Amino acid sequence: MTAPAPAPPSSSVIRPALALLAGLGITALIVGPAILATTLFMLRGVTDPRAFVPSNSGLVLHLAITCVGAYAGGFVTSRLTAGRSFYTTFVLALVLFTSAMVPVLRGADPAAAPRPRWFLVAQAAVVLGASLLGGALERRRVAVRRT
């Protein structure tokens, strides 16, 4: 019997790209359903959903959910790129930050639900900080475990 042939070497771009997609997917899987559920909960008893203005506590809850999702996305991205540079986690943070900054830079959309400017800016800061923090803490955990 002969030994099985070794697997062909994978490109050095595939693993970071898949880690970036996984981080984005984890973030979306956490944030999307949670924001939808809390929004539907806040809409209970509202007669005209188009005129609904969320309370500050509801917006802070959305920021907390976004923080947890971005943290998990950064953690997963850093975990999948263990032994490589922090670049992929940094790209994830930039992608999330850029997508959160679009409403801030465009201004108020009359067709969308009104959201205060402080919330939009805080959301951009939260996704940037939480995803970098999640990635950095995962790197640190791995480094401590190796020593």
What confidence tens digit (pLDDT) does each residue in 62-93 have? 999 999 999 999 999 999 998 888 899 999 99
Amino acid type, 19:
A
pLDDT at position 108, please? 67
pLDDT at position 74, please? 96
* Contact by Cβ (8 Å): 12, 83: no
Q: Determine the angle formed by the axes of helices 56-80 and 117-146, rounding to 10 degrees.
A: 30
pLDDT at position 127, please? 97
Amino acid type, 105:
L
Confidence band of 113 (pLDDT split at 50, 70, 90): low
Residue 46 pLDDT > 90, yes or no?
no
Confidence (pTM): 0.86
* Most confident listed range (1-5, 55-59, 60-64): 60-64
* Contact by Cβ (8 Å): 135, 75: yes
Residue 145 pLDDT > 90, yes or no?
no
16-26: per-residue pLDDT in tens? 999 999 999 99
Residue 133 pLDDT > 90, yes or no?
yes
pLDDT at position 11, please? 62
Cα 144 from Cα 142, distance rounded (Å): 5
The torsion angles phi and psi of 47, rounded to 5 degrees, stand at -80, -40
